Amino acid sequence: MSLLEVRGVTRSFYGVHALNGVDLDVEPGKITGLIGPNGAGKTTLFNCISGLVPADGGSIRFDGTDITRLRPDQVTRSGLVKTFQIARGFPRLTVLENLLLYAPDQPGEHVGAALLRSRAAVAREREIMAKAVEIAAMLNLSHVLANKASDLSGGQKKLLEIGRALMSEPKLILLDEPAAGVNPTLVREIGEKLREIVARGVTLLLIEHQMDMIARLCDHVIVLAEGRRLLEGSFEEVAGNHEVQQAYMGRRA
């Protein structure tokens, strides 16, 4: 059974059809690539799945439950988290705080427990702190844990984005261009980290424009064009397809 099932999802912005009934499936334990030309609706689809932009129609099922109408915080708590394309986040929080924030089930986020400094809140804080330190080590962010997130380099921000997603203990991460605007060495490094994450049992769906990264990482590739799924298959199948080439390059007159 697939982990994520998207069926007939539509979304328009002021009459422009960004999504025209998208169907797709994400199999657990794999890296699925989502590619397509600019304006194909990839980011909109991510926003619909994660609850940031409600879908106009269609249904989205995750891990056996319908998440179509859930708020973003509910989607994240159900085990599906998305990252942002342009590394966004909390510039005035430290890297450590950025990570801690994403941890679920912190009783200290309730006013009462916060005012009383409850034992459960302090214990949970120690737990998630240990986890944050471990994730930071995996992503080579240990030395900048005490820095403000705004002080990080572009590449470090991308890594923090992945680290934050991991802190939410997800089953599925939607990665929106994890390697955009990053130097080739770091692209390779990010690719290795993603493999490591999948080895830990997390499933990934990633939007990416760097085809070598898609070729290297993805078990399965889905092509989106003009708000619809055009095709899916292995990278070789997809890359050799005439329609896909036309969607990217345009038609010969």
Interface with other proteins, residue 43, by CB under 8 A:
no
d(CA 55, CA 10): 6
Among 10, 84, 85, 215, binds other proteins (CB under 8 A): 84
d(CA 148, CA 167): 18
**Least distance CB 68 / other proteins (angstroms):** 17
Please, which residue, 109 or 237, has the CB nearer to other proteins?
109
**Least distance CB 185 / other proteins (angstroms):** 17
What are residue 159's phi and psi, to 5 degrees? Answer: -65, -40
Among 59, 106, 140, 241, binds other proteins (CB under 8 A): 106
**Least distance CB 114 / other proteins (angstroms):** 4
- Count CB atoms within 10 A of the CB of residue 16: 9
| Binding residues for other proteins, total number by CB under 8 A | 51
> Rounded to an integer, what is the distance from CA 44 to the centroid of its chain?
13
Among 48, 67, 152, 214, binds other proteins (CB under 8 A): 152
Q: Take residue 117 and report the two structure tokens written for it.
A: 């400094």
| Segment contacting other proteins by CB under 8 A, of 3-11, 15-23, 99-107, 214-222 | 99-107
Interface with other proteins, residue 143, by CB under 8 A:
yes
**Distances from the Cα of 17 to the Cα of 22, 46, 67, 181, angstroms:** 12, 15, 22, 28
Among 7, 30, 131, 148, binds other proteins (CB under 8 A): 148
Q: What are the DSSP calls for 13-49, one per residue?
A: ETTEEEEEEEEEEE-TTSEEEEE--TTSSHHHHHHHH
Please, which residue, 86 or 195, has the CB nearer to other proteins?
86
Angle between helices 154-167 and 119-138 (to 10 degrees): 130
Interface with other proteins, residue 145, by CB under 8 A:
yes
Please check whether residue 49 is in contact with residue 25, taking contact to mean a CB–CB distance below 8 angstroms: no
Q: Which residues bind other proteins (CB under 8 A)?
A: 50-52, 71-73, 76-77, 81-82, 84, 88-94, 96-97, 100-102, 104, 106, 108-111, 113-115, 117, 121-122, 125-126, 129, 133, 142-148, 151-153, 164, 168
